[in-house]
């Protein structure tokens, strides 16, 4: 892509994000969710800061040590003679080349691991935000269904009140319809409450202000997904930042073991300077010093690093087994949910027409009140069950995406 076009699209993206969060209403589409999170989310900013701190820590460890300057004056005398000695020297600690090599190689692996950890944390955060987005949209649809059913029952309740006043039905039938309406509105209020609570969590996670309204603009309904074989998804896991992060940690630890082995004799100190004795003796001095590995051969540090490597290998093995189990479970659950939703997605759209037919049949005297009340209960439970299953379906999809790094669905 030409540079000018790339810059144009970048500016337009920034402007669209800025305009979408201006004012009292925030509009969020599913496609823009990740970009907006990267700009505003405190979770993403925290991930970035942790990564930046790790990179700075690596830079600190790679710094050279400062040289030291030393000066010394000796002035001694007795009854017959006097001697004055003056020394000015500069010294510096040096690592052997192989020690420096293993240190820098290990820090490079740690930097790679930090970057992969940041990417893995991004993926987990985005999966949570996608799930919250979908659940909020499904709650909106569930509320619409409950409100539609409530209006129909309200009309039936008004009809029952008129028929009671005319003596056509007993007060008990009227009360039963009122109780059925009360139960339906209770479920509606409970869904409203859950939506408000999840909206607050979503605002906080996205970095939005609490007093701003959030408008989710994408249309969310049931969509099929194409699933590969279990082995394909398991292989994809081995290419994810999460898996590569653990491999990089193991590589860094191997470098640390090599470094600890060279630390038996890690380096030396080189010094040089000027020395003058009295006024007639003067010249240059050069010194070299290094530790002798007689009492400490660094064996405990080496054994500790080897144990840490064993622990990292064990963690990676446990991680692979855990992810294989989760991937297989997610795929199985998605297939089950998809089969259920394929059959029932059309039925859930007919709930209001079914309820209207029930009320009409009751008004005409074709069915008793008990059938109407049973129908209300069945329809309300069906609406709740459908949207719970649909929410779990998408939650499983986003979890599988996070585990394997494969994008399975878009809206």
Question: Considering only CA atoms, which of 249, 408, 254 is closest in space to residue 319?
Answer: 249
Which residue bears the tokens 């585990």?
403
What are the φ and ψ backbone dihedral angles of 264, each rounded to 5 degrees? Answer: -60, -40
Most confident of 54-63, 110-119, 336-345: 110-119
Signed CA dihedral, 43, 44, 45, 46: sign only: positive
Highest mean pLDDT among 154-168, 312-326, 368-382: 312-326
pLDDT tier, 322 (very low <50, low <70, confident <90, very high otherwise): very high
pLDDT of residue 148: 85
The reported pLDDT for the residue numbered 16 is: 52
Instruction: Give SS3 for 109.
Output: helix
Q: Tell me how far apart the alpha carbons of residues 305 and 326 are, in angstroms, rounded to a whole number.
A: 31
Question: CA-CA distance, 25 to 46, in Å (whole number)?
Answer: 25
Question: What per-residue confidence (pLDDT) applies to 347?
Answer: 79
Where is average pLDDT lowest: 75-84, 154-163, 383-392? Answer: 154-163
Does 232 score more than 60 pLDDT? yes
Instruction: Return the pLDDT at 21.
Output: 47
Which class for 212: exposed (0-12), middle (13-18), buried (19 or more C-beta within 10 A)?
Answer: middle
The answer on pLDDT for 18 being more than 50 is: no
The mean pLDDT value for 321-347 works out to: 92
pLDDT of residue 130: 95
> What are the phi and psi torsion angles at 267 (to 5°)?
-175, -160
Question: Is residue 264 a contact partner of residue 95, using CB atoms and an 8 Å limit?
Answer: no
Opening angle at CA 358, ends 354 and 360, nearest 5: 115
Structure confidence by residue, pLDDT tens digits, 237-247: 999 999 999 99
Q: What pLDDT is attached to residue 7?
A: 52
Q: Summarize the chain as % helix, strand, coil (round to 5).
A: 70, 15, 20
| 347 token code pair | 């039925």
pLDDT of residue 177: 78
């Amino acid at each position: 892509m030409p540079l000018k076009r790339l810059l144009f699209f970048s500016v337009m993206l920034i402007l669209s994000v800025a305009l979408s969060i201006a004012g009292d209403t925030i509009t969020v589409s599913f496609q823009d969710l990740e970009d907006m999170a990267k700009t505003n989310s405190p979770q993403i900013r925290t991930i970035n800061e942790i990564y930046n701190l790790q990179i700075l820590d690596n830079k600190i460890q790679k710094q050279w040590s400062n040289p030291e300057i030393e000066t010394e004056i000796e002035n001694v005398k007795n009854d017959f003679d006097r001697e004055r000695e003056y020394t000015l020297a500069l010294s510096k600690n040096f690592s052997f080349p192989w020690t420096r090599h293993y240190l820098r190689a290990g820090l490079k692996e740690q930097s790679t691991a930090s970057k992969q950890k940041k990417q893995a944390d991004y993926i987990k955060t985005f999966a949570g935000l996608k799930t919250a987005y979908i659940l909020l949209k499904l709650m909106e649809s569930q509320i619409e269904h409950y409100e539609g059913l409530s209006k129909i029952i309200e009309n039936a309740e008004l009809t029952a009140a008129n028929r009671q006043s005319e003596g056509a039905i007993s007060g008990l039938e009227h009360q039963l319809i009122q109780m059925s309406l009360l139960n339906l509105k209770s479920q509606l209020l409970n869904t409203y409450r859950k939506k408000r609570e999840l909206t607050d969590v979503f605002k906080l996670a996205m970095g939005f202000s609490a007093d701003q309204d959030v408008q989710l603009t994408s249309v969310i309904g049931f969509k099929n997904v194409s699933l590969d074989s279990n082995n394909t998804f398991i292989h994809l896991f081995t290419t994810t930042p999460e898996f590569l992060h653990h491999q990089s940690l193991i590589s860094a630890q191997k470098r640390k073991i090599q470094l600890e082995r060279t630390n038996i004799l890690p380096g030396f100190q080189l010094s040089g300077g000027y020395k003058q004795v009295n006024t007639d003796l003067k010249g240059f001095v050069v010194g070299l010093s290094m530790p002798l590995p007689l009492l400490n051969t660094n064996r405990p540090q080496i054994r500790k690093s080897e144990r840490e490597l064993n622990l990292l290998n064990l963690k990676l093995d446990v991680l692979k087994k855990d992810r294989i189990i989760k991937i297989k479970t997610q795929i199985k659950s998605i297939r089950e949910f998809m089969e259920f939703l394929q059959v029932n997605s059309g039925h859930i759209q007919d709930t209001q027409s079914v309820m209207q037919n029930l009320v009409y049949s009751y008004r005409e005297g074709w069915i008793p009140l008990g059938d109407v009340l049973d129908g209300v209960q069945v329809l309300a439970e069906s609406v709740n069950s459908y949207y719970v299953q649909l929410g779990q379906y998408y939650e499983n999809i986003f979890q599988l995406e996070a585990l394997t790094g494969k994008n399975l669905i878009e809206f």
